[in-house]
Amino acid sequence: MNASWDIFKSLSDPTRLRLLVLLSKEELSVAELQEVLSMAQSRISSQLAVLRQAGLVHDRREGKKAFYSMREDMPVQQRSLVRAAVESVADLPDVVEDSENLARILLKRRRQAEDYFNLIAGKLGRGYCPGRSWESIGHLALRLVPRISVADLGAGEGMISQLLARRAQQVWCIDNSPRMVEVGTELARKNGLANLTYKLGDIEAVPLPDRSVDLAILSQALHHAQHPQRAVQEAHRILKPGGELLVLDLKEHDFERARELYADVWLGFRESVLHGFLKKAGFQKVDVTIVAREPTEPFFETLLASGVK
């Protein structure tokens, strides 16, 4: 049967069309789709199965959760049909209400992470944090070059930046937790680090100009990003030509409780996925290496990725 005809059949159901409108905007879990649409899980899952079979959506598993998004690799003709269908219903009352509910869900996502980091501000270095070890930080430090400008993205209190600022020309710490920025700024003042500046901002929309730093660091921050690819692309944007990105993060794991214990959005990343983020953003000489393995459960492993603009 003609592929376009199959797509028309898939788009004929109002629930499936509402799902496509939502998934064209954001990757969402089944539970989040339930909350947005106020529908039973069985109904949503069955309609998602139809859309997946038609090749319109893609599913991804993170631990016990399933996340769905619009397929990015649809043929141009199919993508045009879906886009036209989505745009045609954008002003319908149900779809408008869905969009409002989606905005609320995404705000709740951000607030959960912000509340967690505001709560632990001032204590982050004293307790356990997955993937943070002197061994892994040592690997990162060995690659640093003095007298350069550095952006520590998702810096928290800026433990690494506090060390870098003693030799670097300028260090910018970017974090989306107001309390973290307050604590870090006070630490910089107490330590007399005039070249260490904290700025409130998101790693997916970094408040720094294009081509303004020599080194960008994402140390145990990428798994807190809603859209890791955007964060890596932002790092590429702010780097000068020849500048380097270093990413220290967890290797993919199945410790589901990390979501509630540490406000993790992603359960780490496969080496190939991290490599793909950097290549897609335009980095050259990309390298991804396991630099630490924790000896106790859940046996977190830490990856160090690097790339040159």
Judgement on whether residues 98 and 238 belong to the same structural domain of the protein = no
Give one DSSP letter per residue of 119-167, joined into a string.
Answer: HHTTTTTTS--TT--HHHHHHHHHT--SS-EEEEET-TT-HHHHHHTTT
Q: What is the pLDDT of residue 3?
A: 59
Angle at the Cα of 276 from the Cα atoms of 270 and 280, rounded to 5 degrees: 155
Whether 91 and 168 share a structural domain: no
DSSP code string of 31-73: HHHHHHHT--HHHHHHHHHHHHHTTSEEEEEETTEEEEEE-S-
Per-residue pLDDT tens digits for 62-80: 888 889 999 988 888 888 8
CA distance 116 to 285: 36
Residue 230 and residue 84 share a domain? no
Asked if 147 and 274 sit in the same domain, the reply is: yes
Q: What CA–CA distance (Å, rounded) separates 178 from 192?
A: 21
Do 155 and 62 belong together in one domain?
A: no
Fill in the amino acid letter for 162: Q
In angstroms, the Cα distances linking 198 to 75, 152, 222, 246, 288 are 44, 9, 19, 19, 28
Number of domains composing the chain: 2
Same-domain check for residues 171 and 284: yes
Give the model's pLDDT for residue 145: 56
Model pTM above 0.75:
no
How far apart, in whole angstroms, are the C-alpha atoms of residue 225 and residue 230? 9
Domain C-terminal end among 96, 111, 126? 111
Report the pLDDT value the prediction gives residue 47, as an integer from 0 to 100.
Answer: 93
Positions of the chain with pLDDT lower than 50, given as ranges: 1-2, 142
CATH number at residue 163: 3.40.50.150
**Residue range(s) defining the domain that contains residue 94:** 3-111
Mean pLDDT of the chain: 89
Q: Are residues 107 and 140 in the same domain?
A: no
Pair (74, 223) in one structural domain: no
Cα distance between residue 197 and residue 194, in whole Å: 8
Same domain, 139 and 235: yes
236 and 168 belong to one structural domain: yes
Q: Are strands 170-175 and 196-200 parallel, antiparallel or unpaired?
A: parallel
Nearest to residue 200, comparing CAs of 158, 159, 235? 158
Is the same domain home to 101 and 143?
Answer: no
In this structure, what token pair is assigned to residue 261? 């214990």
Structure token pair of residue 18: 């509402």
